[in-house]
């Protein structure tokens, strides 16, 4: 603002100006007439112009400023847009911002989201996940007993359906017969195959270098006499205990695929064909189930990057889709 030596008429009161006056926004004012258009109090050097009138900054903000859609207060400083609405930083962080599923801290910027819709901050991307469904263990679950007696980590959704030793006795050759029937195969008549559960550490010692995240193994024995095969024996199917029911059944179906291959003397084929076939048995069994966990297991199979259990399975499934059982069997030779 300037204070010229003289002028004619005050823009505010329309009376003649005498002595010192203010020149603001191209008009002249008595100093006492230059007031806030909102509150009527005198204006200082700091003001906001709107429509040719002056306002205190606070008065201008109160009358014309952007308001938070939640608290209805004038937004001062940083704000966020949510579903087309302007939200002040305080309310956004308190009520709308995404939070880390593990530590519950507010997530801003880049963060990771899994297929369950869980979100985690960068420092918790490697936090424990449920072995069956793949969910990150959330904050409230960290207080639960994460490990089963078998060394498997389960979330609170999968824990109630975990298969332990008492439940295993409900599974026998009839399950294998049903699983293979999904492919149109017959398990045939054979002595009961012992099925047992064991710890992660123990099963890992039994598996070979290619057996990644299968969680089971079929123990077999081939006897020879004078260099000639004399007997083929299925000792047991061993599955990691403490898996959720659908996960356990998928692994067991896979292992009965190995039983069928062993009995048909197809167990010496390349690993990519053997595991691809057994994963197809697993896939077909899980496809008949309608639970969310079965669907998640199927998704993980279809997206598995492993060259044996992932690509090998998908190649076998493609043959199944194109040529059915005969196409799969011709691949095995």
Domain chopping of the chain, boundaries: 162-332
From 10-19, 44-53, 256-265, the region with the lowest mean pLDDT:
44-53
Q: Is the pLDDT assigned to residue 4 strictly greater than 60?
A: no
What is the per-residue pLDDT across 69-115, written as a single tens digit (0 to 9) for each?
888 888 887 888 888 889 898 888 888 888 888 888 888 778 888 88
Q: From CA 118, how far away is CA 141, in angstroms rounded?
A: 14
Q: From CA 122, how far away is CA 134, in angstroms rounded?
A: 17
**Where do we find the tokens 């005198």?**
42
What is the per-residue pLDDT across 167-221, written as a single tens digit (0 to 9) for each?
999 999 999 999 999 999 999 999 999 999 999 888 888 766 555 667 999 999 9
Give the side-chain half-sphere CA count within 13 A for 234: 26
- pTM of the entire structure? 0.74
Give the side-chain half-sphere CA count within 13 A for 103: 11
Of the candidates 176, 143, 148, 306, the residue with the CA atom closest to the CA atom of residue 314 = 306
Other residues' Cβ atoms within 10 Å of the Cβ of residue 187: 19
Of the candidates 259, 255, 257, the residue with the CA atom closest to the CA atom of residue 240 = 255
Q: From CA 304, how far away is CA 311, in angstroms rounded?
A: 7
Backbone angles phi, psi at 61, to 5 degrees: -65, -40
């Amino acid at each position: 603002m300037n204070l010229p030596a003289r002028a004619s008429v005050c823009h505010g009161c329309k009376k003649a100006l005498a002595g010192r006056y203010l020149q603001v926004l191209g008009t002249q004012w008595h100093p006492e007439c230059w007031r806030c258009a909102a509150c009527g109090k005198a204006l200082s050097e700091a003001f906001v112009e709107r429509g040719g009138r002056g306002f205190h900054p606070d008065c201008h903000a109160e009358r014309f400023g952007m308001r938070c859609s939640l608290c209805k207060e004038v937004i001062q400083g940083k704000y966020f847009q949510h579903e087309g609405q302007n939200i002040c930083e305080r309310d956004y962080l308190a009520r709308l911002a995404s939070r880390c599923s593990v530590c519950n801290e507010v997530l801003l910027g880049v963060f990771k989201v899994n297929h369950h819709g869980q979100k985690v901050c960068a420092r918790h991307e490697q936090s424990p996940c449920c072995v069956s469904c793949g969910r990150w263990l959330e904050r409230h679950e960290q207080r639960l007993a994460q490990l089963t007696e078998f060394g498997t980590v389960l979330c609170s959704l999968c824990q109630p359906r975990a298969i332990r030793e008492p439940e295993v006795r409900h599974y026998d050759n009839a399950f294998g017969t049903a699983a293979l029937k999904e492919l149109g195969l017959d398990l045939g008549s054979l002595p009961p195959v012992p099925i047992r559960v064991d710890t992660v550490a123990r099963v890992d010692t039994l598996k070979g270098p290619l057996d990644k995240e299968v969680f089971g193994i079929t123990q077999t024995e081939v006897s020879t006499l004078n260099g000639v095969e004399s007997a083929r024996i299925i000792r047991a199917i061993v599955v990691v205990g403490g898996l959720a029911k659908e996960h356990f059944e998928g692994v067991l179906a896979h292992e009965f695929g190995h039983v069928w291959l062993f009995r048909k003397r197809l167990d010496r084929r390349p690993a990519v064909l053997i595991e691809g076939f057994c994963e197809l048995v697993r896939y077909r069994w899980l496809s008949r189930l309608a639970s969310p966990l079965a669907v998640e297991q199927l998704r993980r199979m279809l997206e598995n990057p492993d060259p044996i259990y992932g690509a090998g399975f998908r190649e076998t499934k493609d043959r199944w889709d194109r040529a059915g059982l005969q196409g799969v069997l011709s691949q095995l030779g």
